Amino acid sequence: MTLMKYPVAKKSEFSELKPVFLQVGGMKVAVYKFKERFYAYSSWCPHQGGPACEGIVVGNAEAELGIDRVVREYTSTDNFSIACPWHGVEFDLQTGVCRADPRMRIASYRVETEGDDVFIVK
């Protein structure tokens, strides 16, 4: 099977955590830059078919348990998720796996770079 390269944008055109959208084989795909790496996902939410990647990218709401067993809730500045705008279902930005139910995930695509150019390979 021959792989196709779909040009996305120049690296310099990306902003951190802001999606760049393109069509890949009839599917709307979003490409994100995060900490010098690129991630590409289908913008179709497996929960109810919403436009998953049209939602915000948000720092994960996390919690840690202190030695006194008191919970401290905080918003992560290291880990982010894509929140589907229809119902708020969250998918990990680096894996596409649903944070609440790992049986669900948004489809991911291979991203390659050549010089300043970013491609999706499919």
Partner 1 sequence: MKKEYRSAKFAGFEEQFRKYAAEPEDLDPVRMKMMKLSLDVFSRYPKDFKPLMNGRIRRPEIQAYEHYPIKERKEQRPDFPVREQRPDEVIEIFARRMHDIGIKRSVIFPNTLLVLGNYPDFELEVAVSNAYIDYMLDNFLGKYPELLTALYAPANSPDRAAELIERVGKEKGVIGVMVTPSRPGPFAGDESWNPIYEAAERKGLPICFHSEANVLPPFDRFKNFLPIHALSFPFHLIMQLTSIVTEGVPERFPNLDFVFIEGGVTWIPWIMSRLDSEYVMRKSEAPLLRKLPSEYIRKFFFTQQPLERAINAGHLEAVFRSFNAESQLLYASDYPHWDFDAPNVIFDLPFLSKESKKAILGENARRLFKIK
Residue 55 in contact with residue 11, Cβ under 8 Å?
Answer: no
19 lines the binding site for partner 1 (CB under 8 A):
no
Contacts of 89 (CB under 8 A, 6+ apart): 45, 47, 50, 52, 83, 98, 100, 104
What backbone phi and psi angles, to 5 degrees, belong to 105?
A: -155, 155
CB of 21 vs partner 1, minimal distance in Å: 16
Q: 64 or 73, CB closer to partner 1?
A: 73
CB of 55 vs partner 1, minimal distance in Å: 6
**Closest listed residue to residue 14, CA positions, set 45, 57, 70:** 57
Single residue of 87, 110, 116, 117 touching partner 1 by CB under 8 A: 87
CB of 40 vs partner 1, minimal distance in Å: 21
Q: 94 or 122, CB closer to partner 1?
A: 94
Residue 11 in contact with residue 119, Cβ under 8 Å?
Answer: no
76 lines the binding site for partner 1 (CB under 8 A):
no
Single residue of 58, 79, 97, 122 touching partner 1 by CB under 8 A: 58
Residue 116 in contact with residue 12, Cβ under 8 Å?
Answer: yes
Q: Which residues bind partner 1 (CB under 8 A)?
A: 48-49, 54-56, 58, 83, 85-88, 90, 101
